[in-house]
Structure 1
């Protein structure tokens, strides 16, 4: 998903295919290394006040991959507008903010977000949009290189399908056995419903009833985003399908109407539409987690999802549980309503830290030493890559020949001029 799905998804710009895929490759490779160090510092070393080794296992590598996803979501908001140095600086700062946010949410607030609707998708989207706003220049929105092409759209759709197929494993990989089953089922149904609704809305909002490829490339994935928080929860398939349908609806409408309005009124230029694919569905997914927590009553089943709802230490209820079951750890004795309030607080905190962190990072990225691209070189591979000489490949050198008639002569002259 990280090194193929996002890479091909970001080939949608007609002159930025080399950079879209390869900068994705570079950022992903740096992110999985930096994330392990940043998380070790924030989750293990600083809280305990002891500098030394921290655990490293398969789960650590998976979470580092999740961190890479956060950065690559933000990359979509600034794609084509930043130099590689600027992107690396964004990565280094973003993963510090992102892991501080996750530490506050998981360790202090003790909320659930197994598939990252809040901590990955919403954070990455609004961090990237905040950076994009700080870096905004009017010329960014007027380049003819922002257009797509038939070939680029096909490559981008390949990335979409790759992400779509693997999304159930993304949402379920960190869950326990039963939670993993729920995550796969819920994500599966949410994604399927999202595709159907996206295609339908895409046709409805077009005056000729035609489909728009950008909606199919992006909004069809919103079903995986929206069910991230509730993926491992025992919600019914109909609720997963409802969430996926709502995500497809708001994402498609966002691409059609909201993105142009935000660009015009607030100068929020978002080339990949991360607000529509990750931002708004991420918020909806976080609110879904609030609702599920609010209506949940205490049971042994939910302790794996909301550990803070377990009885407090030395309570009578905990002692009764221990007399029949082992392995139940004392919690904070929260009610469903209290847990829902903490889920909401984590969502608000995520949005605040993402926006503030993005603004700070954006101002750092404006430093001239980071080699920001000139306006005429934005969305253009030629500024960073050796490009194949397409003209030499398509046009053969002219030679002196004896042409039989004026019609043939005119055709050769036109070909040479072309």
Structure 2
């Protein structure tokens, strides 16, 4: 029993990995574009074979790599602001992402299986990264307050709920959410916040002094911000086709730019000395994150807020407006809303409500409005590519008219108002599943054998990692060499701090 207690994390993840291997072996196969056995892949293109230069990986892989960097580098370093939790921020980020991309591929395959087999391609990898993003957002809400075993269980459960929610929204409701603002950001944020509330203990309140940052931890966190900022257009545009993808890049680019300028301005206005904020300073738990990292986080909110709208015809000025609103809301959220939520024990370590939750809601509401206003005059026949449910029904007069100019699949013939209603249904369902799912998973994570951190373990790397003897806050004394040239003529004085 003692051996099991010491090794239960390792045993759990090894069992999961073996299960993944078995499920991949039984159900997974390559899609045709990656399968050597498919005959057209070995034929000359002039004789009906596949064109090697036109393989889908050639188009998707660059943006997939951008999204991949966001998951492993962007999210990982963004969460390193905690002065005693840097190893865990980056390390557990790596662990969770590696676990989730396998499980998300399987869950997506189960929901879209054909002939008893899952067919994996570059799109599978990309959508698995999107699911990982939702889980990493939730990780930000519970950062420093869960054990590695709890994180693994949370991730496994959240992937199931996230994939089912996405399947309902995309397949059943036929809602449009190109940048995943609803299905990734809103779901991940509110799932994580509810889990954090359920797991709240007095030990978290008593660990308040560990929640601040130090100079170098905030610099590392800004590395994550910059990687996320640079690659966010790829996140929002990767799955869009043709001109939709081009438009998504443009809209995201301008939304991020406007959001960043606005965040700097509002951060300065909210400071009594007109300074910019890039530091988390905590004086007591009820004012947690009262000065929390506006520049590290709020500058990214525009990428979230434009996600649902990314491929829509909102025009560059509309993208700027979205970014302006997102930057303002996010900074005010960090300044005032996060402390208010902390008073009622909604302890959100990274403030994911302000970077992902509220901007995601802005995107969802914006998508409802944009869908209600979308007409053929504004979009041309591309209207039926973006809002596929609005395409004419099969063999209708309108369908026969449109099909002559554009190869589209038959739709449901929805009106603009009906599409807007389904967009609202998708947003509401996402919120409901995130909140209820977070509550249930949070209760599961409270089980004693999952080892929730207690007392000194909260917000601290020490119990989970082999630590260096020097450099870690509170570790062995660090020697600093200072020189007094006037008195000692260059001789060194060693002091201890």
Alpha-carbon separation, structure 2, partners of 1:337 and 1:137: 46
- The aligned residue for residue 268 of structure 1 is 346
Is 1:15–2:99 an aligned residue pair? no
Alpha-carbon separation, structure 2, partners of 1:108 and 1:277: 28
1:180-219 mapped onto 2 (5 Å cutoff) = 180-213=245-278, 214-219=293-298
Contact conserved, 1:141 with 1:269, CA < 8 A, in 2? Answer: no
How much does 1:375 deviate? 2.1
CA-to-partner distance for each residue in 1:224-248, whole Å, 9 max, x for gaps?
A: 0001001011221010000011000
- The aligned residue for residue 111 of structure 2 is 42
How much does 1:307 deviate? 0.2
How much does 1:321 deviate? 2.0
- My pick for the range that moved more, 295-304 or 163-172, is 295-304
Alpha-carbon separation, structure 1, partners of 2:254 and 2:406: 34
Alpha-carbon separation, structure 2, partners of 1:355 and 1:201: 30
1:112-191 mapped onto 2 (5 Å cutoff) = 112-143=176-207, 144-191=209-256
How much does 1:395 deviate? 5.1
- The aligned residue for residue 108 of structure 1 is 172
- The aligned residue for residue 370 of structure 2 is 292
1:336-351 mapped onto 2 (5 Å cutoff) = 336-351=416-431
* RMSD after superposition: 1.7
Alpha-carbon separation, structure 2, partners of 1:63 and 1:375: 38
Report the secondary structure of 1:133's partner residue: helix
Alpha-carbon separation, structure 1, partners of 2:147 and 2:355: 24
- The aligned residue for residue 226 of structure 1 is 305
Is 1:31–2:100 an aligned residue pair? yes
CA-to-partner distance for each residue in 1:141-171, whole Å, 9 max, x for gaps?
A: 3321111110000000110001000000111
Is 1:394–2:478 an aligned residue pair? yes
Is 1:242–2:321 an aligned residue pair? yes
Contact conserved, 1:297 with 1:335, CA < 8 A, in 2? Answer: no
Alpha-carbon separation, structure 2, partners of 1:363 and 1:393: 41
How much does 1:313 deviate? 1.7
The change in CA–CA distance for 1:284 and 1:326 in structure 2 (over 3 A counts) is closer
Alpha-carbon separation, structure 2, partners of 1:99 and 1:386: 35
Is 1:71–2:135 an aligned residue pair? yes
Report the secondary structure of 1:55's partner residue: strand
How much does 1:134 deviate? 0.5
Report the secondary structure of 2:204's partner residue: helix
Gaps of 5+ in 2: 1-69, 279-292, 481-491
Contact conserved, 2:385 with 2:408, CA < 8 A, in 1? Answer: no
TM norm structure 1:
0.92
Report the secondary structure of 1:381's partner residue: coil
Alpha-carbon separation, structure 2, partners of 1:302 and 1:375: 56
- The aligned residue for residue 317 of structure 1 is 398
Alpha-carbon separation, structure 1, partners of 2:178 and 2:455: 40
Alpha-carbon separation, structure 2, partners of 1:88 and 1:392: 32
Contact conserved, 1:43 with 1:103, CA < 8 A, in 2? Answer: no
Q: 1:62 aligns with which of 117, 126, 132?
A: 126
Q: Moved runs in structure 1, 4+ residues, more than 6 A?
A: none
Report the secondary structure of 1:44's partner residue: coil
Contact conserved, 2:78 with 2:221, CA < 8 A, in 1? Answer: yes
- My pick for the range that moved more, 79-88 or 313-322, is 313-322
- The aligned residue for residue 486 of structure 2 is none
- The aligned residue for residue 368 of structure 1 is 448
Report the secondary structure of 2:310's partner residue: coil
Contact conserved, 1:118 with 1:350, CA < 8 A, in 2? Answer: yes
How much does 1:302 deviate? 1.1
Is 1:6–2:75 an aligned residue pair? yes
Alpha-carbon separation, structure 2, partners of 1:341 and 1:185: 27
Contact conserved, 1:183 with 1:232, CA < 8 A, in 2? Answer: yes
- The aligned residue for residue 21 of structure 2 is none
Is 1:358–2:423 an aligned residue pair? no
Alpha-carbon separation, structure 2, partners of 1:237 and 1:346: 26
Greater length-normalized contact order (CA 8 Å, ≥ 6 residues apart): 1
TM norm structure 2:
0.77
Contact conserved, 1:105 with 1:111, CA < 8 A, in 2? Answer: yes
- My pick for the range that moved more, 278-287 or 135-144, is 135-144
